[in-house]
Amino acid sequence: SFDAELRAWCLEHRVVYQSFWTLTANPNAIASKAVGDVAGRLGCTRQQAFFKFVQQLGITPLTGTTSPEHMRQDLVVSNLEPLEAGEIE
Identify the pLDDT of residue 89: 74
Answering whether pTM is above 0.95, one says no
Q: What is residue 43's predicted lDDT score, i.e. its pLDDT?
A: 97
With a CB cutoff of 8 Å and minimum separation 6, the contacts of 2 are: none
Residue 11 and residue 13: Cα distance in Å, rounded? 5
Secondary structure of residue 68 in the 3-state scheme = helix
Nearest in space to 26 (alpha carbons), one of 1, 52, 47: 47
Which candidate, 67, 80, 65, places its Cα nearest to that of 24?
65
Task: Give the mean pLDDT per block of 10 residues along the chain (89 residues).
Answer: 89 94 94 97 97 93 92 94 91
